[in-house]
Amino acid sequence: MHEHIDLPALPRYTGAPEAFDASGTDPYDLDPDLHPDQRWSTWSSVEKGMRGPEPRPGWVVTADAAIDTDLGVLKTGKEADVFLLERAVPDDPGQFSLLAAKRYRSSEHRAFHRDSAYVEGRQVRRSRDRRAIERKSSYGREAAAAQWANAEFAALTMLWSAGAPVPYPVQIDGTEILMEFVGEHASSGEIDGSPASRVAAPRLARVRPDGGTVEAYWDQLRHAMGVLAAHGYAHGDLSPYNVLAQGERIVIIDLPQVLDLVANPHGTDLLMRDCRTMCAWFRSRGLDVDEGELFAELIAQAW
Ligand SMILES: Nc1ncnc2c1ncn2[C@@H]1O[C@H](COP(=O)(O)OP(=O)(O)O)[C@@H](O)[C@H]1O
Ligand SMILES: [Mg+2]
């Protein structure tokens, strides 16, 4: 995936989790190579167009000396697995970031629940890819996984640029998206040398915030859905499982199926479903909200 011909000597790595030192010796004193859970940062090998939007947040690590370390699985899913990844320059606390690496699956075991209703009105530009996807060849499966990754990266880029609460998309490399890790507390952007939380923010489904916070979340949700609608889009799979609760704010994730409200014949139905699902959660947390009103408000912003 990532080719390096001449590996520079690896600086002593101090940020590795304890597990790496299980042998009691520093593996890097014995072997200048990378640990199996590490790679050189892929930042410089991805094309410019495959990187996140400007202005790039200050915490994004772009140094060639940076190392990507897989810190473990956040969640495995039917279509993609999400890993916690550290991208950092060893011995330089100023160049440290935690990322969520979402890796789309291209294997036969992958079962997309995102069915054709989502992709109607979407175009696969390269006809070779389209035919391969239809044939379901292994090239086609890889291409399909990359299409979903591309769609999610494009949606994150558009929404982040429009000021919606989504993780900052750092880069896309084939079927892998690297994005801002949404931790329990501060976002990566607020790290200032202090160790960031490596615990992911809980999904909305799991939290029971106080009344004031529920209201604040509702305002944020309406605003986020409004940004999407104003650009002619709906999330398409919005639920309390695809919204993270990070303290006082919510962050919307899981956007590969974002749909075009005009081009997609099911667009308004799917928008209505998003409204219904989210309003049910807010009602279960004591807020008197109405999906019909939310839907009407969003449609008014779309046209
Ligand atoms: N940027 C992120 N920061 C923190 N956790 C994340 C992030 N993206 C995904 N996750 C975690 O991974 C889970 C699955 O991600 P999601 O994008 O919803 O994929 P899917 O539902 O298709 O498997 C999320 O519910 C969340 O717990
Ligand atoms: Mg999800």
- What confidence tens digit (pLDDT) does each residue in 225-234 have? 999 999 999 9
Domain boundaries defined on the chain = 17-198, 204-302
Tell which phi-psi region holds residue 167, choosing left (phi > 0), alpha (psi between -120 and 50) or beta.
beta
Q: For residues 224-243, give the mean pLDDT.
A: 97
Among 33-37, 158-162, 239-243, the range scoring the smallest mean pLDDT is 33-37
Residue 42 or 18, more confident = 42
CB distance 113 to ligand 1 below 6 Å = no
Q: Is residue 215 within 8 Å of 172, Cβ to Cβ?
A: no
CB distance 179 to ligand 1 below 6 Å = yes
CB distance 77 to ligand 1 below 6 Å = yes
Q: For residues 15-44, give the mean pLDDT.
A: 63
Q: Is residue 267 within 8 Å of 261, Cβ to Cβ?
A: yes
Residue 194 or 266, more confident = 266
What pLDDT, on the 0 to 100 scale, is given for residue 14? 39
What pLDDT, on the 0 to 100 scale, is given for residue 108? 59
Inform me whether the pLDDT recorded for 170 exceeds 60: yes
The set of residues, in sequence order, having a beta carbon less than 8 Å from that of 11 and lying 6+ positions away, is 65, 90, 91
> How far is Cα 294 from Cα 161, in angstroms, rounded to an integer?
23
What pLDDT, on the 0 to 100 scale, is given for residue 113? 57
Inform me whether the pLDDT recorded for 6 exceeds 60: no
What is 204-302's CATH superfamily?
Answer: Transferase(Phosphotransferase) domain 1 (1.10.510.10)
Ligand 1 centre and the CA of 136: distance in Å? 26
Residue 276 exposed, middle or buried by CB count within 10 Å (0-12, 13-18, 19+): middle
> How far is Cα 273 from Cα 265, in angstroms, rounded to an integer?
14
Mean pLDDT (the chain, rounded): 86
What pLDDT, on the 0 to 100 scale, is given for residue 128? 80
What are 136-143's contacts with CB under 8 Å, separation 24+? 138/106, 141/106, 141/107, 141/108, 141/110, 142/106, 142/175
What pLDDT, on the 0 to 100 scale, is given for residue 278? 98
Provide φ and ψ at 154, rounded to 5°.
-65, -40
Q: Is residue 257 within 8 Å of 151, Cβ to Cβ?
A: yes
Neighbours of ion ligand 2 (CB under 5 A): 242, 254
What pLDDT, on the 0 to 100 scale, is given for residue 102? 98
What pLDDT, on the 0 to 100 scale, is given for residue 16? 41
What pLDDT, on the 0 to 100 scale, is given for residue 15? 40
Q: For residues 232-255, give the mean pLDDT.
A: 97
The set of residues, in sequence order, having a beta carbon less than 8 Å from that of 301 and lying 6+ positions away, is 226, 229, 230
pLDDT tens column, 135-161: 778 888 888 899 999 999 999 999 999
| Band of residue 114 on the pLDDT scale cut at 50, 70, 90 | low
Q: Which CATH class is domain 17-198?
A: alpha beta
What pLDDT, on the 0 to 100 scale, is given for residue 275? 98
What pLDDT, on the 0 to 100 scale, is given for residue 69? 97
CB distance 237 to ligand 1 below 6 Å = no
Inform me whether the pLDDT recorded for 192 exceeds 70: no
What pLDDT, on the 0 to 100 scale, is given for residue 134? 76
Q: Is residue 252 within 8 Å of 188, Cβ to Cβ?
A: no
> How far is Cα 38 from Cα 88, in angstroms, rounded to an integer?
11
- Residue with CA nearest ligand 1 atom 4: 182
> How far is Cα 218 from Cα 287, in angstroms, rounded to an integer?
9
pLDDT tens column, 38-53: 999 999 999 888 999 9
